[in-house]
Amino acid sequence: MISGPSRRALIACVPAFLAAPWLHASEHEVVLQVTGRVKSGSVRLRLDDLRKLPQHSFVTNTPWTREPHTYAGPLLRDVLVAAGADLSATTIRAVALNDYQITIPLKDALSYPVIVAHQRDGKPMPVRDRGPLFIIYPFDGHPDLQSTRFYQRAIWQLKSMQVD
């Protein structure tokens, strides 16, 4: 057990730790890089760039939560258009902060209201809670999406997408 001056020093560090930038993305911080078949070859989007796009939300259950939550953010297809992506491409390789990767058919973004969520239940999502970005499908609104194949495509802590 830590006691005395060491304990007080540790407790004094907690507020700074909780405010660390990797826990909460700032408005002007680059949170997403889009590469591949995009007009300029590479686009870096800040959180405020994503918030300037039309915002959408839905309530859905996921295999990772005990109850439904409201997710909000721009449509994945709107993010791709804003990045100048070639919508005749076939896939998006999405990569998370921990380097988890998944290939998402581009047709998912065109066929369903998939969002790049930056909020859950009206609050920004910190890294420790699947944020700051989460590609999420409206599982409850489309029964055909309630399968392992689509659950695997819902990627949290999103950091980059490559359009191929």
Domain range summary for the chain, segments of one domain joined by +: 27-163
* Cα separation, 19 vs 33, whole angstroms: 24
Return the pLDDT at 5.
Answer: 52
**Which helix (H) or strand (E) is 12 found in, with range?**
helix 4-18
Residues 6+ apart with CB under 8 A from 147: none
Query: What value does the mean pLDDT take over residues 4-25?
Result: 45
pLDDT digits (tens, 9 = 90+) for 26-71: 566 899 999 999 998 899 999 999 999 999 999 999 999 999 999 9
Q: Which two tokens stand for residue 118?
A: 């930056």
**Which helix (H) or strand (E) is 79 found in, with range?**
helix 76-82
Could you tell me which CATH class the domain 27-163 is placed in?
A: alpha beta
Return the pLDDT at 14.
Answer: 43
pTM for the model stands at 0.84
Return the pLDDT at 29.
Answer: 82
**What does pLDDT average to over the chain?**
88
Return the pLDDT at 101.
Answer: 97
Residue 90: band (very low, low, confident or very high) from pLDDT cuts 50, 70, 90? very high
Is the predicted pLDDT of residue 84 greater than 80, yes or no?
A: yes
